[in-house]
Structure 1
Amino acid sequence: MSVKQASAEYKAMVQEKLGEKFNIIAGDMERVRASGAIDGALKSGQSAPDFTLPDAFGNQVSLKTLLAKGPVVISFYRGEWCPFCNLELRGLQEALPKIEALGASLIAISPEKPDHSIVATEKSKLTFPVLSDFGNTVARQFGIVFRVGDELQAFSKNVFKNDIALRNGEDSYELPVPATYVIDAAGVIRFTHVDVDYMTGRAEPDEVVAALATLK
C-alpha cells in the first residue's frame, strides 16, 4: 500500500471519529495555505543550506559530511506524535535499500527533543538518522515553518493530550510543513515536495527513488 493510500485511510478514520470537530484541523491547514507561510520554500535548482544537527543519540550529523559521500534525501516531519508522519517515515524505511543502492543517504528532521526522536526511531524501526532541529532553525532556512493556530493548539492539548511546546522544548508552537528534498552531491536541490496538507499530501518513496535515479 502506498503512503498516500495508507494516509487517506487513516484520515477517513480520524474524520469519522472527530465528526464536526475535524473542521478545526482542516481549517487550520487552509489558514496556513492562505497565509503564504511557505511561499518562500526552497525549490529545485537552489542550493541547500549546510547544517549540523544532533541525532536521537546525541551524535552530530552534518549535511556537508553526508554530501561528501553522495546525494542526500531529507524528510522534514512534524513529530513522533503525528501518525501521518510515522506512515511516511515507515514508507521511507522500506525504500531505504533502494535509496542506498543509488549511493544516497536518508535523514529525517523534526523540531522535537532527542528523546522523542528515540521514540520515533524505535516505534517505526528506523535505521536512518532522525535529527532534532531545535526551534526549527534548519526548517526556517528551507522556508517551511508555520505556527499552529490557537484553536488547534487548544484542541490538540485537550483532545489528543499533545502539547507541542513540551515536546519541542520551546513555546513558539511552530512546526515544519512536511517536506521532502533530494539534494545532489554538489548541494543542489533536485527534487522537492512541500505540501501544507500533512495528512495526504506526502511524497511517495517511489518518487524519491525515481528522483535519485535521474542523478546517475
Structure 2
Amino acid sequence: MTLKAQIDDYNLAKIAKVPSDILALMDATTEDLIAQHIEFNALKLNQSINDFTLNNHLNEPVTLSTLLEQGPVIINFYRGGWCPYCNLELKALNEMLPEFKAVNAQLIAISPQLPDASLSTFEKNELAFNVLSDTSNKVARQLGLVFTLDERLKPIYAQFGLDIPAANGDNSYQLPLPATYIINQKGHVIYAFVNSDYTLRAEPCAILNALQQDC
C-alpha cells in the first residue's frame, strides 16, 4: 500500500472519530498556513545545504558531511512523534530502507524533539535509521521550514493529549513544515518535497526513483 493510501485511510478514520467543528478548525488553520507560502523560501532543488551536526535518538552526534562521504543522504523533516501523519511517513520510509541502501543512500529523520522524545519515536515505530533532534529548529530554520503552530490549535492538541512543549523542551510551538530532501555527495539538493499541508507527504517510491535516476 502506498503512503498516500495509508494517509487516505487514516483521514477517513479521523472523520469518523473527530467532531466536525474541530475538523473544520484544523482545515481552516491549514489553509491559513498554506496562504503564508512559507515553502517559497525553503531550500530548493539544485541549491546547496550547509553542513550540520545533530544528536541522534541515542544522544550521539551525527554530521551530514560524514554521512555524505558514503553516498547520498535522504533528509526527512517531521513535526514530531505525536503526529500520526509523521508516524505513517516514518514507517513507510523505514520499509523502503533496503531499497535506499541498495543505491548507497542513507536516511535520517529530523524533528525539534528532545533526544528522549526522539528515542520514543524511534522505538515506537521500530525504525532502523537515525532520528535526530534539531532542538529549537536550528537546522530547519536555516532551510526556511519553520512555522509557529496556530494559537487556535493549542487547546485542541492539549485535548488530544499532545504535549508539544514537553516533547521539544520549549514553549515556542515552532515546528518544521513536513519536508524531504535528497542531498548528493556534492552537497546539492537533487530532490525536494516541501508542503504546508501536513497531511501531504513525499511518496517513498518517488524518493527511490530520484535516487536511481542520479546513480
How far residue 49 of structure 1 moved from its aligned partner, in angstroms, is 1.7
CA distance in 2 between counterparts of 1:54 and 1:32 reads 29
User: 3-state SS of the aligned residue for 2:161?
Assistant: coil
How far residue 171 of structure 1 moved from its aligned partner, in angstroms, is 1.1
Tell me whether 1:90 sits opposite 2:91 in the alignment. Answer: yes
Contact 2:38 2:196 (C-alpha < 8 Å) held by counterparts: no
How far residue 123 of structure 1 moved from its aligned partner, in angstroms, is 1.0
1:38-187 correspondence runs (5 A):
38-157=39-158, 159-187=159-187
Query: Where do 5+ consecutive residues of structure 2 fail to align?
Result: none
Contact 1:38 1:145 (C-alpha < 8 Å) held by counterparts: no
Structural RMSD (CA)? 0.9
CA distance in 2 between counterparts of 1:95 and 1:166 reads 31
User: 3-state SS of the aligned residue for 1:39?
Assistant: helix
**What TM-score results when the alignment is normalised by the length of structure 2?**
0.97
The residue that corresponds to 2:17 in the other structure is: 17
Larger deviation: 35-44 or 70-79? Answer: 35-44
**What TM-score results when the alignment is normalised by the length of structure 1?**
0.97
CA distance in 2 between counterparts of 1:10 and 1:73 reads 25
Which stretches of structure 1, 4 residues or longer, exceed 2 Å deviation after superposition? none
CA distance in 2 between counterparts of 1:66 and 1:43 reads 20
Q: Which amino acid aligns with 2:192?
A: T
CA distance in 1 between counterparts of 2:170 and 2:38 reads 20
How far residue 83 of structure 1 moved from its aligned partner, in angstroms, is 0.9
User: 3-state SS of the aligned residue for 1:214?
Assistant: helix
How far residue 169 of structure 1 moved from its aligned partner, in angstroms, is 0.4
Percentage identity across paired residues of the two chains: 43
1:3-14 correspondence runs (5 A):
3-14=3-14
CA distance in 1 between counterparts of 2:39 and 2:194 reads 8
The residue that corresponds to 2:205 in the other structure is: 206
Q: Which amino acid aligns with 1:15?
A: I
The residue that corresponds to 2:33 in the other structure is: 32
How far residue 14 of structure 1 moved from its aligned partner, in angstroms, is 1.2
How far residue 161 of structure 1 moved from its aligned partner, in angstroms, is 1.5
Task: Count how many residue pairs are aligned between Structure 1 and Structure 2.
Answer: 214
Query: Where do 5+ consecutive residues of structure 1 fail to align?
Result: none
CA distance in 1 between counterparts of 2:144 and 2:17 reads 33
Contact 1:114 1:132 (C-alpha < 8 Å) held by counterparts: yes
How far residue 16 of structure 1 moved from its aligned partner, in angstroms, is 2.3
How far residue 15 of structure 1 moved from its aligned partner, in angstroms, is 2.1
